[in-house]
């Protein structure tokens, strides 16, 4: 039953993987610099790592906005967010899971009579605007640097493209890590206050209940990447303006930096140590940040070929997405509570993700912990098998090509 | 990853070797025509053999470069253009080989008074090709300098046109002692030599567009 409640979050994770992986590897795959198979494999591994290692910061902020304290409530909130993402995608508006989940949490707050912290809300909303703006500033700066390197280094085009390809893979991995770290809160954040699992001790590290949830969410994201992102990557990769390989590298790196900045607790503490204001740990929309980055490059190049309609659509998304998911969450919560008689949460003042009352949580379930351990083992075996399979497939392809070349020249002679 | 394998290095070497072949081909062609005009058939045959070797090597390299670019997905955004460039450059060495073969098989009788004109046409046409090669190499290393390097290609192409037009006029209007068949044959040979600079101009047009795209 507990796992059934998670399905809405997992669905949200799946759609995030299917849509947002394109922001990280879309340009590389769309321009044929990196094969889809390689991109999907790297993105899946690094999303998982980012979510488990660094996902806590942004989840805490979402928890402060509204700590959904019943599984039925978490399920409904995540479902409302997922349906909103689906509907907005259907209407072709660049949608953000962050905005959707924030709206749904506020809907839950309103329904249960919980107070919405306006300071946290304004912090979150300000990053929706500042994320793309910082992204575009990074993009312009990095693009100027890369262009200067290309111009003055006299590096051979083949070698330069080779560096760019390697860069795209490394930056893509960093982008996927940051995506996992920053956006896992959207997928699993609402479940943390009402979910309690036994810790798993792996010898070198211990996975807390939240980290296990993040791992499940990241697996859903990985499933989205592996099953549905190919089409999105190939078609959406160059949607805004046609990107050259170096522009693609810059856009992905800038986006990864923005996502990393808004999810790195270490960087935030460093800012405090040097006397600067702390960086808010907020999940930002990877789609909107990358659009900001690409527009930054477009502005630098003369802003002739930018699709400005997309900017308008982002603006619409900022208002419509949270509004729609909030209303949807409110109505769904009403039905879930009154028709299905499921507890969707109650008024619990000053409850945060880190300060949850034990009475509000489910008791740790040994069966689920066992399932998680088997899942980890399965994940490890699948990962190793996939890497080996990929290696042998590539080797076979090369050997066949070499043989056909030798045969061709032998026949010519 | 291509950086950590030998694929990138091999491809760069192959592209350079391909360009070297075209460069050498142009040199050998110039010497071959001079040897023919000087009636030094031994040297001419040696040059012809050399050209055949260079042309066959260029064909092999062309195929190999295209294969590597496709299979390792190198330069995916410029693949079509680089292939077209290599194809046009290969046409230059094909024309060189075909022209020297024409000399060898058809043995055109070139009056001694026209030797200077034939050398001039050959020089201008070969120069157009020779000026193209630094621009083609620059496309890969410093695309910003490609367009200025191409200016000389266009100059030598128009020079070739002028000298060959002048020579054809002399053949048809001033050399009454020649048969029409011989005149036609000489014009045909001139056109073949001219084809080298025409192909160089075709490659220059392509390179110019490619350079703009890469610099933007």
What CATH number does the domain containing B85 carry? 1.20.58.220
Lowest mean pLDDT among A119-123, A322-326, B25-29: A119-123
| pLDDT for B194 | 94
Half-sphere exposure of B23 (CA within 13 A, CB side): 12
Q: Is A339 on the interface with B (CB under 8 A)?
A: no
**Is residue A355 within 8 Å of residue A60, measured between CB atoms?**
no
Q: Give residue B126's pLDDT.
A: 94
A244 CB neighbours in chain B (<8 A) are: 77
Q: In this predicted model, which residue has the larger pLDDT, A110 or A312?
A: A110
pLDDT of residue A1: 63
CA B182 vs CA B119, B169, B175: distances in Å = 19, 14, 11
How far from B25 is each of A133, A270, B204, CA to CA, in Å? Answer: 55, 64, 18
Q: Averaged over A130-156, what is the pLDDT?
A: 88
- Tell me how many helices (H) and strands (E) chain A has: 13, 2
The rounded distance, in Å, linking the Cα atoms of B148 and B211 is 11
What pLDDT shows up at residue A244? 79
Q: Is the pLDDT of residue B72 over 50?
A: yes
CA distance A43 to chain B (A): 16
Contacts of A163 in chain B (CB under 8 A): 3
The separation between CA A210 and the C-alpha centre of its own chain, rounded to angstroms, equals 17
Among candidate residues A56, A25, A27, A28, the one with its CA nearest the CA of residue A43: A25
- Give the closest of B2, B67, B77 to A162, CB-based: B2
For residues B11 and B104, is the Cβ–Cβ distance under 8 A?
Answer: no
Q: What is the pLDDT of residue A173?
A: 92
Phi-psi region of A134 (alpha: psi -120 to 50; beta: other; left: phi over 0): alpha
pLDDT 10s digits, B8-43: 888 999 999 999 999 999 999 999 999 999 999 999
Q: How confident is the model at residue A235 (pLDDT cuts 50, 70, 90)?
A: low
- The overall average pLDDT reported for chain B is 90
- What tokens does A143 get? 């693009």
Q: How many domains does chain B have?
A: 1
- Please give the radius of gyration of chain B, using alpha carbons only, rounded to the nearest integer: 19
DSSP E strand stretches across chain B? none
Q: What is the pLDDT of residue A359?
A: 43
- Choose among B67, B140, B216: nearest Cβ to A158: B140
Q: Which of A228-242, A263-277, B6-20, B126-140 has the lowest mean pLDDT?
A: A228-242
Q: A347-365: buried (b, 16+ CB within 10 Å) or exposed (e) per residue?
A: ebeebbbeebeeebbeeeb
Q: Is the CB of residue A168 less than 8 Å from the CB of residue B3?
A: no
Which of A18-22, A240-244, A339-343, A349-353 shows the lowest mean pLDDT across its residues? A349-353
Residue A309: pLDDT band (50, 70, 90) is confident
Using an 8 Å Cβ cutoff, are B37 and B116 in contact?
no
Tell me which residue range forms the domain holding B76: 2-215
Chain A nearest-CA distance from B160, in A, is: 32
Structure tokens belonging to residue B48:
């012809």
Which pLDDT score, from 0 to 100, does residue A289 have?
A: 86
Find chain B residues with C-beta within 8 A of A159's C-beta. 3, 8, 12
Q: What is the pLDDT of residues A340-375, one digit of tens each?
A: 888 877 776 554 444 444 444 555 666 777 777 777
How many residues does this entry show for chain A?
413
How does residue A92 score in pLDDT terms, banded at 50, 70 and 90?
A: low
Tokens representing B178 are 């020649």
Question: Higher-confidence residue: A86 or A184?
Answer: A184
C-alpha angle A200-A202-A207 in degrees, rounded to nearest 5 = 40
| Position A141 pLDDT exceeds 90 | yes
SS3 of A308, please? coil
Other Cβ atoms within 10 Å of B188 Cβ, number: 12
Q: H or E segment at A201?
A: strand A200-201
- How high is the pLDDT of residue A236? 52
Give the pLDDT of residue A139.
92
* A residues 154-173 closer than 8 Å to B (CB): 154-159, 161-163, 165-166, 169
For an interface test with B, the pick among A158, A301, A408, A413 (most B C-beta atoms closer than 10 Å) comes out as: A158
Contact B75 A157 (CB under 8 A): yes
Tokens of B148: 């200025």
The domain ranges of chain A are 2-364
Tokens at A325, concatenated: 């998911």
């Amino acid at each position: 039953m507990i796992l059934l409640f998670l399905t809405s979050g997992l669905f949200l994770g799946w759609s995030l993987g299917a849509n947002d992986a394109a922001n990280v590897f879309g340009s590389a795959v769309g321009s044929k610099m990196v094969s889809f198979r390689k991109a999907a494999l790297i993105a899946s591994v690094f999303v998982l790592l980012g979510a488990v290692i660094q996902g806590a910061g942004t989840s805490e902020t979402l928890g402060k906005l509204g700590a959904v304290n019943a599984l039925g409530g978490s399920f409904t909130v995540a479902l409302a967010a997922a349906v909103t993402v689906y509907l907005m995608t259907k209407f072709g508006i660049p949608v953000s899971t962050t905005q959707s989940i924030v709206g749904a949490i506020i809907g839950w707050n309103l329904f249960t009579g919980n107070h919405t912290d306006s300071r946290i809300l304004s912090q979150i909303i300000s990053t929706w605007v500042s994320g793309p703006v910082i992204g575009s500033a990074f993009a312009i700066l990095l693009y100027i640097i890369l262009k200067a390197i290309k111009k003055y280094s006299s590096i051979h085009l083949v070698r330069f493209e080779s560096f760019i390809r390697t860069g795209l893979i490394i930056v893509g991995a960093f982008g996927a890590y940051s995506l996992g770290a920053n956006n896992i809160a959207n997928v699993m954040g609402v479940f943390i206050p009402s979910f309690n699992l036994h810790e798993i001790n792996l010898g070198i590290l211990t996975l807390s209940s939240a980290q296990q949830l993040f791992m499940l969410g990241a697996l859903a994201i990985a499933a989205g990447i592996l099953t549905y992102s190919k089409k999105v990557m190939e078609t959406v990769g160059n949607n805004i303006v046609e990107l050259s390989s170096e522009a693609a590298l810059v856009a992905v790196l800038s986006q990864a930096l923005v996502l990393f900045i808004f999810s790195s607790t270490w960087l935030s503490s460093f800012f405090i140590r040097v006397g600067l204001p702390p960086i808010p740990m907020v999940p930002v929309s990877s789609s909107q940040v990358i659009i900001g980055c690409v527009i930054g490059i477009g502005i630098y190049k003369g802003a002739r070929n930018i699709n400005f309609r997309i900017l308008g659509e982002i603006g619409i998304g900022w208002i419509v997405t949270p509004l729609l998911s909030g209303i949807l969450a409110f109505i769904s919560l009403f039905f879930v509570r009154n028709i299905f008689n499921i507890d969707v949460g109650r008024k619990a003042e000053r409850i945060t993700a880190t300060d949850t009352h034990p009475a509000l949580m489910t008791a740790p379930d040994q069966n689920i912990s066992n399932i998680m351990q088997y899942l980890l083992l399965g994940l490890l075996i699948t990962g190793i098998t996939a890497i080996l399979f990929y290696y042998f497939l590539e080797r076979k392809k090369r050997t066949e090509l070499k043989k056909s070349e030798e045969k061709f020249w032998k026949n010519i002679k | 990853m291509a950086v950590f394998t030998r694929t990138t290095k091999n491809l760069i070497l192959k592209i350079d070797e391909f360009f070297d072949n075209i460069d050498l081909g142009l040199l050998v062609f110039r010497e071959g025509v001079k040897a023919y005009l000087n009636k030094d058939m031994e040297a001419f045959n040696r040059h012809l053999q050399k050209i055949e070797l260079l042309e066959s090597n260029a064909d092999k390299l062309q195929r190999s470069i295209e294969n590597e670019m496709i299979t390792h997905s190198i330069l995916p955004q410029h693949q079509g253009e680089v292939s077209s460039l290599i194809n046009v450059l290969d046409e230059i060495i094909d024309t060189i080989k075909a022209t020297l073969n024409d000399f060898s098989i058809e043995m055109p009788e070139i009056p001694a008074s026209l030797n200077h004109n034939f050398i001039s046409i050959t020089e201008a046409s070969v120069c157009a090709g020779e000026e193209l090669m630094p621009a083609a190499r620059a496309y890969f290393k410093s695309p910003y300098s490609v367009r200025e390097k191409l200016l000389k290609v266009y100059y030598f192409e128009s020079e070739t046109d002028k000298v060959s037009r002048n020579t054809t006029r002399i053949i048809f209007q001033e050399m009454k002692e020649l048969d029409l068949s011989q005149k036609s044959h000489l014009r045909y040979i001139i056109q073949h030599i001219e084809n080298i600079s025409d192909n160089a101009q075709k490659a220059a047009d392509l390179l110019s567009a490619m350079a703009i795209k890469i610099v933007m």
